[in-house]
Amino acid sequence: MTGYAIETKEMTRCFGALRAVDRVSLQVPTGSIFGFLGPNGAGKTTTLRLLLGLLELNGGSATVLGYDVSTQAASIREHTGVLLEHDGLYARLSIYDNLEFFGRVYHLDVRTRQARIQELLKHLGLWDRRDADVTKLSKGMKQKVAVARALLHRPSLVFLDEPSAGLDPVAAVALREDIQNLARKEGTTIFLTTHNLAEAEKICDCVGVIRKGQLLTQTSPAELRSQTGKATARIVGHGFSDSSLAALRALPQVESAVLRDDELHLELGPGTEIPPLVTWLVREGIQIEEVHKGRGSLEEAFVALMQENGQEHREVLS
Amino acid sequence: MKDISTVVWKELSEFWRARGGSRARLMSFLPIFFVFGVFWPLQGREAWVTVPFLPGFLFMILPLTLAGGTAADSFAGERERHTLETLLATRLSDRDIFAGKVLATTIYCTALVWACALISLITLNVSRGSNPIFWYSEISVFLIALGTPLLAVLMTAIGVLVSLRAATVRSAAQTFSIVTLLVFIGVPLLIQALPPAMQASLVEMVATANMTLVALAAGTVVLAASIALLALGIARFQRTRLILEE
């Protein structure tokens, strides 16, 4: 096996005339958390199904954990864990019985199974509710149980398809921390499909962006931000006036300037230096208290990337 | 075999837990136990002993009515409850999943029949007081022990085949009802369509035939049909198709 948990070359899948996955070549380093980003219908779920050997390739090749997806799909499924679009939990069974079933599926012996279920449920704060029916759980709790199920047999690679979709912000943060902690603790490679860019930015070592079945880029979140994200600055001070703002917006290196209370938010063109701008503002009579320099968020970088490739902003955020 | 028993364990746990709490579970089985284990045996009394096929045939109603409906839920239910894709993404092989589901329904129906047969034995022996102990005739034992599981397999095979392609449990149950209705109405209609002379000879043949041989022949037909339908089911069980129909 190479240093990659997943390696695809020109991987293609068509549904009739539609190329759902179009010559995708990506490499996911072993032990990393990889974010697979894209708008709805971009081909994320189809890619995931191809990597699990649940759909057949129409072209190209792919290996997962060194196994060929076309000929060794059973081995891939043996060594991976999944949380797909739906949590996939059996509503009629209790939390414990759900995990018990999957523990049996992966041939964990009784003692290992019991210890592992206890370990995961305690870690996720669900041990006291282990006998509760899944139907009685909140969406966040169900997602946690599904994450526990995916990690139960200590797989080398876990596929998570939109794990925080439909969760409230608090539950999403908790789940994100759980995924991150468990992945780091157990050295598991995580392949995470999401269109929650804040989530990807916080936990992913590496991201791939897909649109209309085509992989637009594969890089680190920081690199993606620096490639396509705009530089920003937040300046706190007094004495901003309409005329000074208008003059500021007229500067070629300033792409936008918005005043909120006493905070000036600037989006800057490529290569713009902050100190000359600060000097300019002081000359305009503005009293500056604080200057914060930043790169654009991954979301901005993502939107920029989509716009570069002809995608409307509205569609990206839908 | 281990993987098949894992699927069986899951299916039976779901059957059991689907009925709610312990009281609800008991209440859901009580009508069946009452009718098949108490009411009919007490109504039949001597006939239960003297008519050799009676209890065996009556118990066959259970797999006929329960197996197909339960099996219709097997894949359509997983699809409807969004658990099918996760199941297919596990290491379990197609054959293990398929066999586990068929076996679970068969075990469920057979266990119910055998429990009813046992309750009816107790009922009759208790009601007969000091008379000689009641026991089923040989042919009834054969029908209860082997006939009902065989019939359960056949009905399950039909139910699973229907369930593989159905989008919802309701549509699977409807299709299954139509299929069974066609069989049960179709066979008498076919007999009626025969020339009168052929009908008469058929009646005479049934009336004079050795019923044990007829039962054995019928069992062989059911076994052959079950094997054919199970083979068809395994051939139609393809992960890719099932995923695309999710």
Please report the ipTM that was assigned to this predicted complex. 0.82
Number of residue pairs across A and B with CB atoms under 8 Å?
A: 70
Residues A89 and A166 in one domain: yes
Query: Picking from A242-251, B114-123, B237-246, which range would have the lowest pLDDT averaged per residue?
Result: B237-246
A32 and A130 part of one domain = yes
Determine, for residues B3 and A105 on separate chains, whether the beta-carbon distance falls below 8 Å. yes
* Residue in B18, B83, B92 closest to A105 by CB: B92
Number of domains in chain A: 2
Within 8 A by CB and 6+ apart from B170, the residues are none
Angstrom CA distances, B28 to A207, A250, B16, B24, stand at 53, 78, 10, 6
Structural domain span for residue A282: 230-295
Residue A244 domain-assigned?
Answer: yes
Q: What residues in A contact B240, CB-CB < 8 Å?
A: 54-56
Total count of residues recorded for chain B: 246
A164 and A269 part of one domain = no
Residue A223 lies in a domain: no
Contact A194, A235 (CB under 8 A): no
Assess whether A252 and A110 both reside in one domain: no
Is residue A186 located within the same domain as residue A282? Answer: no
Domain-terminating residue out of A190, A218, A246: A218
Residues 36-95 of A with CB under 8 A from B: 49, 52, 54-56, 74, 77-78, 80, 82, 84-94
The reply to whether A89 falls in a domain is yes
For residues A276 and A199, membership in a common domain is answered with: no
CATH code at A249?
3.30.70.100
Q: Are residues A85 and A200 in the same domain?
A: yes
Q: CA nearest A299: which of A165, A213, A161, A196?
A: A196
Taking only the tens place, the pLDDT of each residue in A8-57 is 999 999 988 888 899 999 999 988 899 998 888 888 889 999 999 999 99
- What CATH number did the domain enclosing A134 receive? 3.40.50.300
Mean pLDDT of all residues in chain A?
84
| Judgement on whether residues A16 and A50 belong to the same structural domain of the protein | yes
Q: Backbone dihedral region of A15: left (phi > 0), alpha (psi from -120 to 50 degrees) or beta?
A: beta
Please give the pLDDT value at position A318.
37
Subunit contact B85:A93, Cβ cutoff 8 A: no
Based on the domain organization, do A133 and A272 belong to the same domain? no
For residue A308, is it within any domain? no
CB spacing of B81 vs A91 below 8 angstroms: yes
Q: Is the pLDDT of residue A312 over 50?
A: no
The 10s digit of each residue's pLDDT in B45-90 is 777 767 777 888 888 888 888 887 788 888 888 888 889 899 999 9
The pLDDT value recorded for residue A136 is 86
> What amino acid occupies position B44?
G
